[in-house]
Chain A
Amino acid sequence: MVPYVVRRVLTALPTIVIFACFVFLLQKLLPGDPVLAMAGEDRDPATIAALRIQYHLNDPLPVQFLRWAGDALRGDLGESLRNHDSVLHLITQKLPVTLELALLSTLFSVLIGIPAGILAAAKKGSVWDNLARGTALWGVSIPTFWFGIVLIIIVSVNLHLLPASGYAPISEDPWQNIRTMILPAFVLGNAQAGILMRHTRSAMLEVLRQDYVRTARAKGLPELRVVMAHAFRNALAPLVTVTAVLLGQLLAGAVLTEQVFSIPGFGKMLVDAVFNRDYAVVQGVALCTGVGFILLNLLADVAQLLLNPRLRSS
């Protein structure tokens, strides 16, 4: 397995390089000018010209990219044009928040989506199946910002059960941290639970049609044992991949949910950075998210190996 992991890491490297080039070029294609954004409402031409030279924005694109890449290799992701904070510092400030939100949301989606999917498949065509599929459709279609606002009005404004917004780091106030994270994680998890439920249902239906399930039933095993121990175990492999992809999507930040609940994660920072043409921040966050996504995929593949002995021999 170790050689496999090493090989996968090595093949991931070119992907990261191509990805970094791509993000760099894409944002340079955006119209607009970071210096115009920095110069403020007054837009003094002398200031604009001086800033453009100071931040090397007149250099040819390949030179700009190589400068960034060279610094990045030395662990320096540059500095935000907007507030001169180092991009690495900004990322380390936001990463724990984004990770926590992503993990909690995924937890919610797994806790809701997988049992619902199993139930729907085991009772195919029943009321339970229709209910689960209807709920999944609702979860996927409902806009997160709207659902978020509705929950805030009910849970925070009317019932005063949880705070409406704000974030407290887990290291400073774990209780408040959990209180502020429940609603946003639930909103995001709810949206993803629908997707996960549908994948679980179809994977389970596939497995439940297999001969060995029939054999298990013929042996007289209780239905619960057939579904959980025989069918679900074998349906698990594709679900791991889906969950990893869903989690990976959350790593780039969940802009709308972060906005509604004022969670200081990657999403809001990335959007602000794009609007301000704060190239270094966009580049840094994109790189970080890209690497995260690749790592998650790698982990999912390793998990597949552990779950499915047949893959190990190949």
Chain B
Amino acid sequence: MKTGFLFAGALMLATTAASAQTLRIGLLDDPDLLDPAPGKSFVGRIVFQSLCDKLVDISPDLKILPRLAVSWETTEDGKVITFKLRDGVTYQDGEKFDAASVKYNIERDKTMPESIRKSDLASVDSVDVIDPLTVRFNLKKPDSTLLAALTDRAGMMVAPEAAKQAGAKFGLNPVCSGPYKFVERVQQDHITLARNPNYWNAKAFSFDKIVFRTIPDSTARLESLRSGDLDIAERIEPTDVKELEAQKEFKVVGVTTLGYQGLTVNVANGPASKAPIGQDKRIRQALSLAIDRQGVMDAVFDGQFSPAGQPVPPVSPYYSDKFPPPTRDLEKAKALLKAAGVEHPVINVRYTTSSRAQKVMEVVQAMAAEAGIEIKLISTEFATQMKVQTDGDYEISFIGWSGRPDPDGNIYSFYVCGGGLNDSHYCNKDVDAILNDARLTTEVAARKALYEKFDAIALDELPIIYFYFEKWIWGSTAKLQGFVPNPDGMIRLEGVKLAQ
């Protein structure tokens, strides 16, 4: 009997220990406001992943998965999408999740002054509540990118009553419907979340507490993992991978991101575009051919990242095998420069201040010199680079894009005439027509054919020289089980646990 008690006691202790687990995640940056509407930071999205549930999610192979919406149907003309919602879901403050709250959220995203979700939801004209568990999105025109947008912040549902009361300050004390609820935050230090016992799928989440810690220095983040102060660290430096892999107490997993790194060329944005590289595509082609992309990857990133030749990564169903990354061809590069009548062009390249960008550009500078191209490097702090880029005060800007699951997100605004992100001011009516068609086309093969038509033009004219695809690299304790890397870089905790 006594032994029985002891055994039960030990069992209880063991289960308490197991269930009282905390997961400590090291982030590279400090998230901004914890409100999905004005939220802009990448690391903020990692926190939202546990804090705010969304209508739909995205799988590692970029398929749309049900989440708060269990199913959806699009009408023949593509202008109406009807979502069936999950029953019995409540927000973390007890408010019921229903069609009316979906309507509130979409309208909040579209009208709140600070919201930067407006462009994600630009195609949504209105939202109708059909019944408590059915909601209808009426679109201005068919939009094949909308579902992908709803897998991110535009599809995250915040508790309407709490949001109405807090207004713009909602992010200081967010209330959503995710598996973990907000506990506390110290800026630039940590964010703590605690288990939401009322979550509809609570049993799939094994941790009681999640602590996100901001450790911007990559060496410090790695050492915090190695000393046992962290369980997972995001964005491990590519050059640290081999060393960490060699230690059996740790694991390293990686997956190619949805974004790209590239050289944006100013082709028509103000006087700086009058430089030869902005005016003659042959010089841009020559520069692209002068770069040994794989060589740069090996020299700077220990071969962890991969060369790019188009705006979408290989994981996307819209990646085209017809446009592989260009291989280095110095003879052809020199011939192109000769044909352009500028055998020794001098090009100013701006890059954002970071040791990584600097190393990459120094290698590129040496490679380009072998083709007769002189590159002058100008290091610029990020906010300044954004400003000079929009103002057109640059010839080439070495800049990346974090990437979107739908190819439109990696292409459209960078290429259409007057596009919001089109800092090179490239404008080609044929390209506009193709990209607008692709937005209206939902069938994958037909859409892919359109993007290949686009690639044929864009990769010839090269307002953006695609350079390489980065990889998300996570380091974790070897005890971590069930973590599935996703190309969107998020940390999804469903089914993840720490072995005892």
Contact = CB atoms under 8 A, between A and B. Distances in A.
A44 B384 contact: no
A38 B387 contact: no
Contact of A43 (B383, B388, B421): B421
Contacts of A260: 217, 219-220
A311 to B, nearest CB: 42
Contact of A45 (B115, B171, B220, B420): B420
A32 B383 contact: yes
Nearest to B217: A259
Interface string B95-115: 000000000000000000111
A188 to B, nearest CB: 15
A165 B172 contact: no
B189 A167 contact: yes
7 closest A-B pairs by beta carbon, nearest first, are: A40-B40, A264-B189, A32-B383, A164-B227, A156-B227, A164-B224, A83-B33
Interface in A164-215: 164-167
A272 interface: yes
Given A44-B420, A145-B217, A166-B224, 12 more contacts: A32-B386, A42-B119, A51-B114, A82-B33, A83-B34, A83-B187, A163-B227, A163-B229, A164-B226, A165-B215, A264-B189, A272-B188
Nearest to A145: B217
Contacts of A152: 220, 223, 227
Contacts of B116: 38-40, 42, 44, 47
Nearest to B169: A84
Contacts, number: 142
A160 B227 contact: yes
Interface residues of A, number: 50
Interface in A147-171: 148-149, 152-153, 156-157, 160, 163-167
A230 B271 CA distance: 72
B381 interface: yes
Interface of B is mostly: loop
Given A54-B113, A149-B223, A262-B213, A38 B40 contact: yes
B118 interface: yes
B198 interface: no
A272 B113 CA distance: 23
A95 interface: no
A46 interface: yes
28 contacts: A32-B381, A32-B386, A33-B383, A38-B116, A39-B116, A41-B40, A42-B421, A43-B386, A43-B421, A44-B116, A44-B118, A44-B420, A45-B420, A50-B113, A83-B33, A84-B171, A94-B188, A149-B220, A164-B227, A165-B224, A166-B190, A167-B189, A259-B220, A262-B220, A268-B188, A269-B188, A272-B30, A277-B383
Contacts of B420: 42-45
A264 B187 contact: yes
Contacts of A275: 381-383
A229 B119 CA distance: 74
B146 to A, nearest CB: 15
A118 B190 CA distance: 43
A157 B228 CA distance: 8
Question: Which residue, of B120, B224, B388, has the highest number of chain A Cβ atoms within 10 A?
Answer: B224
Contacts of B387: 31-33, 36
A264 B188 contact: yes
A276 interface: yes
